[in-house]
Homo-oligomer: A and B are copies of this chain.
Amino acid sequence: MRYRNIIDISLPVQEGMVCFPGNPSVEFTRIDTGSSYISSIIMGSHTGTHIDAPGHISAGLAGVDDVPLQTFIGPCRVLDMTHVKDVVRTEDLEPFGIGAGERILVKTRNSLEGFDAFRDTYVYLDGDAADYVAGRNIALFGIDWLSIKKRGGPEAADQRPHTSLLAKGIVIFEGLQLGDVIPGDYYFIGLPLRLLLPDGAPARAILLQQ
């Protein structure tokens, strides 16, 4: 495989990092074995850059290790949504002609504002737009915040940003850091840890620039 450059789109995982409310805080403990150092890690399955597996919304759906590995590797498009004020809607997505099997990442102002503080005012996907991308039969959808759906207010009750995608087996990547990424075409590699969990797993995600 030829590539010109690798862009790391993963958030660094460290103590004190911002987590979505309700998720465990990251704790690292250094252990001296005598001849080497190791660490004990406490973190959440949805901490930092991670996947939502279908089992995130229902115990009966596919877990992390049930998702075909092909999903996580292949061409992707980073769509420029930095102009969007609060919410990515169907009308923002339609001009891109999203097709079946695509890996779609949206770059919003979230990446520009950074990940140093938790904000309820992050840009999210609305329920209709989730139905729209699910209807396009994409392979994977990624966003640059710790959640794809609104938090707080009446619209937070609309579960479709999770359910429309996950019930169809479309994996969601959250916590992507796209600040350094110029929207366009890339080769995506986003590998979740092989955790035997139904709901999700931390992942390392990179873009190859070809």
Contact = CB atoms under 8 A, between A and B. Distances in A.
A11 B194 CA distance: 7
Contacts of A181: none
Interface stretch (A27-35, A103-111, A135-143): A27-35
A3 B6 CA distance: 20
Interface string A43-67: 1111011000001110100000100
A38 interface: yes
Nearest to A194: B10
Interface string A116-142: 000000000000000000000000000
A166 to B, nearest CB: 9
Given A13-B196, A39-B199, 8 more contacts: A6-B69, A11-B194, A24-B31, A30-B199, A40-B44, A41-B45, A191-B204, A193-B204
Interface of A: 1, 6, 8, 10-14, 22-24, 28, 30-31, 33, 35-46, 48-49, 55-57, 59, 65, 69-70, 73, 159, 162, 187, 189, 191-200, 202-204, 206
